[in-house]
Amino acid sequence: MDQAASALLVDLEQRGMLDEVLVLMMGEMGRTPRINKNSGRDHWPDVFSLLVAGGGLTRGQVPGSSSRHSETPLERPVHYHEILATLYHQLGIDHHRAFLRRPEQARPYHARVRTRG
């Protein structure tokens, strides 16, 4: 996955398309920091990784952090509503209208997000 993602981003950059294409890689959850009794890992919604690149977003950001073993968020936890709101914002979709159930939770994730213009 890492080589494919890297190749995609390099290709988009070389073609001058990275600011126009928004790449998002994430799952719906993380995995427990510790191995369970069956030598596996269980669902862990508190901490997970994602990659967001291109689409006119400010580069070089690493929002938030987690504890040493990725058990809990430590700094600037990001809710999935914020991820969706940012994607909608970058696509020109009114993120306040997109979240009909709880519009107060929909907001662009970061003040430095560049808008289209």
> What would the pLDDT profile of 9-58 be if each residue is shown by its tens digit?
999 999 999 999 999 998 878 888 889 999 998 888 888 888 889 988 88
- Residue 70: name the closest of 89, 44, 90 by CA: 44
Pair 49, 2: CB distance under 8 Å: no
- Check residue 113 and give its pLDDT: 42
Share above pLDDT 70 across residues of the chain, in percent, rounded to a whole number:
81
Cβ atoms 91, 83 nearer than 8 A: no
DSSP string, 30-85: EE-SS--TTSS--EETT---EEEEETTPPSS----EE-TTSSSEEES---HHHHHH
Residue 8 is predicted with a pLDDT of: 97
